[in-house]
Amino acid sequence: MKRVVAAFGLVAILTAAAYWYLTSPNRQTAGLEPMPGGPADLANGRAMFFAGGCASCHATPNQDDRTRLGGGLALHSPFGAFYAPNISPHPRDGIGSWTEQQFLRAMRAGVSPDGRHYYPSFPYTSYQRMTAADIRDLFAFIRTLPAVEGRVRDHELGFPYTLRRGLGLWKLAFLDGRPFVPDPTKSASWNRGAYLVEGPGHCAECHSPRNVFGAVIEERRFAGGPNPEGKGWVPNITPHPTGLAEWTKGDIAELLSSGLTPEGDSVGSTMTAVVRNTSQLAEADRDAMAEYLRSLPPREGRKGPR
């Protein structure tokens, strides 16, 4: 009997140790490069801010000024409600006292300054593709925005999703930590578009179906799916007959600029906020994103209710 108890005890200790080891946030932060030195490029930081759609989640709801990043927007998910935090440069309530390196860790590794995992409702699964220089410029740009006082409420999640440490296992399965690698066989504009769509633009986060763990199903990336925020359907944006097969590069670029579809309708739902951001980008960047979308492998998607 004593031996059985000892054996169970040992298994429990080993399991706990393995859990602690596998869920360590150091796994994601260890390989990060240091921030590149030199002055930040604020114009590029602004472009990254709009490409990344930070204001869509972090701007305080119900106010016109989209640069006041006081947070508070509720994001409903099958796991519970997340509340986007204050990322304004307020030193106490926002990220005003953060270092560039801490910001890099958040964006690329999904790890907080005090070494905790962030939930992937913060789409670092895409932001991990961004270059360190772009993240530095983005950080510098955010620091020029108004400091907003006040912290937001805590997330409302069911057990076991309240345990942040467990996200380490999720990251092992679904976060590869690889920055964007340009394809030398493709044009510069294709590579620019691929970078913007896959990285800061995080387009796949809405335009793909997710598995039971809430991770994008890679084989159906960009093929559309139920709206992650609950209501409606997000369309297929691959060049498949169930998606954008009939759209030209110009049609896609036009939608990202004015929100108008080839039929002359205004795009709706959560895409309205995306267009508010992409309309601020350089025309060449929108063209590049359209070029990349046109080159995606055509994937069949279910046509959802519109």
List residues binding ligand HEC (CB under 6 A): 52-54, 56-58, 75, 82, 84-85, 87, 95, 106, 112, 118-119, 121-123, 127, 138, 197, 200-203, 205-207, 227, 234-235, 237, 252, 255-256, 261, 267-271, 274, 278, 289, 293, 306
Where b means 16+ CB within 10 Å and e means fewer, 81-111 reads ebbbbbbbbbeebbbeebebbbbbbbbbbbb
Q: Are 40 and 137 in contact (CB under 8 A)?
A: yes
* CA–CA distances in Å: residue 233 to residues 123, 288, 303: 19, 25, 8
Angle at 263 between CA 260 and CA 264, to 5 degrees: 40
To ligand HEC, the closest distance from the beta carbon of 231 in angstroms equals: 9
Whichever of 131 and 269 has its CB closer to ligand HEC, that residue is 269
Distance of alpha carbon 300 from alpha carbon 260, whole angstroms = 24
Distance of alpha carbon 40 from alpha carbon 50, whole angstroms = 17
Distance of alpha carbon 236 from alpha carbon 286, whole angstroms = 18
To ligand HEC, the closest distance from the beta carbon of 8 in angstroms equals: 34
Whichever of 25 and 53 has its CB closer to ligand HEC, that residue is 53
To ligand HEC, the closest distance from the beta carbon of 283 in angstroms equals: 14
Whichever of 12 and 40 has its CB closer to ligand HEC, that residue is 40
Whichever of 140 and 289 has its CB closer to ligand HEC, that residue is 289
To ligand HEC, the closest distance from the beta carbon of 162 in angstroms equals: 11
Q: Can you tell me which residue has the tokens 């054996």?
A: 7
The contacts of residue 284 (CB under 8 Å, 6+ apart) are 189, 192
To ligand HEC, the closest distance from the beta carbon of 110 in angstroms equals: 8
> Within 10 Å of residue 174's Cβ, how many Cβ atoms?
16
To ligand HEC, the closest distance from the beta carbon of 13 in angstroms equals: 29
Angle at 198 between CA 194 and CA 200, to 5 degrees: 110
Whichever of 18 and 107 has its CB closer to ligand HEC, that residue is 107
Whichever of 23 and 278 has its CB closer to ligand HEC, that residue is 278
Whichever of 28 and 278 has its CB closer to ligand HEC, that residue is 278
CA 122 to chain centre: 6
To ligand HEC, the closest distance from the beta carbon of 7 in angstroms equals: 38
Whichever of 76 and 186 has its CB closer to ligand HEC, that residue is 76
Q: Can you tell me which residue has the tokens 């926002």?
A: 94
Phi, psi of 29, deg, nearest 5: -90, -20
